[in-house]
Amino acid sequence: MVKTALVRSDREVGGLVLEALSRARIPVTLCDWKYFPESDEWQLIIATPWYDSKGPLEAISLMIKAFQVAGIYQDVPLLRLLIRSPKDDLVKELEKNAKDRREGAIHVVEHPGSNHHKQYSLIFAPFTGPGGAVPAKRFSKIEDLRQFLGKRLHIRPSSVQDALAELASRGNASIFDVRLTPQEARDLGLA
């Protein structure tokens, strides 16, 4: 199953949610998107100690009220929100991944393929880490490469366009300031 993209509007909603909860003084220990392959969707996981102290229904109710007060209620995908305790195993996993998030660069190289069709190799090179061989992801179509950069790696369209223009003129391109957790890199075939 191909992982659907976490679109920019979802990322922006995550920021709006955090701001609304902060303004309402609702304590949050984690607010992060997680992809669930079973449902083929991204869900916004929010961990709050109020889940334990006030109960799940009260915590959710107070969050919804905060969204209404902030004027973002219509923008928040309520069916894709998961409110959890900071003690929840999923929350602990996401916190660990967030701490382990590595910054690096994406490098793309064009090379001749069979039947005079170009081929493309993509690697994620973390700036720090254990070292060792870096796996390459291969693409036979430029459109597949474009989709991977934009929808799977969530790179801004303008940055993707700039990189593809550089690739066309120089035969290689780099995109810096890319952040992936070790799990994300593995899921994408880049670790």
In the CATH scheme, what architecture does the domain 8-98 have?
Answer: 2-Layer Sandwich (3.30)
- Residue 98 structure tokens: 């967030």
Of 55, 45, 53, the C-alpha closest to 89 is: 45
Buried b (16+ CB within 10 A) or exposed e, 51-84: beeeeeeebbebbeebbeebeeeeebeeebbebb
- Give the distance from CA 4 to its chain's centroid: 11
118-126 and 102-112 strand pairing: antiparallel
* Band of residue 15 on the pLDDT scale cut at 50, 70, 90: confident
Rounded to an integer, what is the distance from CA 143 to the centroid of its chain?
21
Q: Measure the CA–CA gap between 174 and 40, rounded to whole angstroms.
A: 30
Is a pLDDT exceeding 80 seen at residue 9?
no
Measure the CA–CA gap between 29 and 48, rounded to whole angstroms. 6
Q: Which of 5-14, 40-49, 98-107 has the highest mean pLDDT?
A: 40-49
Domain ranges, ordered by start, for the chain:
8-98, 100-187
Q: Is the pLDDT of residue 117 over 90?
A: no
pLDDT, residue 1, reads: 44
Structure tokens at 93: 């996993």
**Does residue 30 surpass a pLDDT of 90?**
no
Average pLDDT, the chain: 85
Q: Can you read off the two tokens belonging to residue 33? A: 């998107």
- Is the Cβ–Cβ distance between 188 and 178 less than 8 Å? no
Averaged over 126-143, what is the pLDDT?
A: 75
Return d(Cα 187, Cα 190) in angstroms, integer: 8
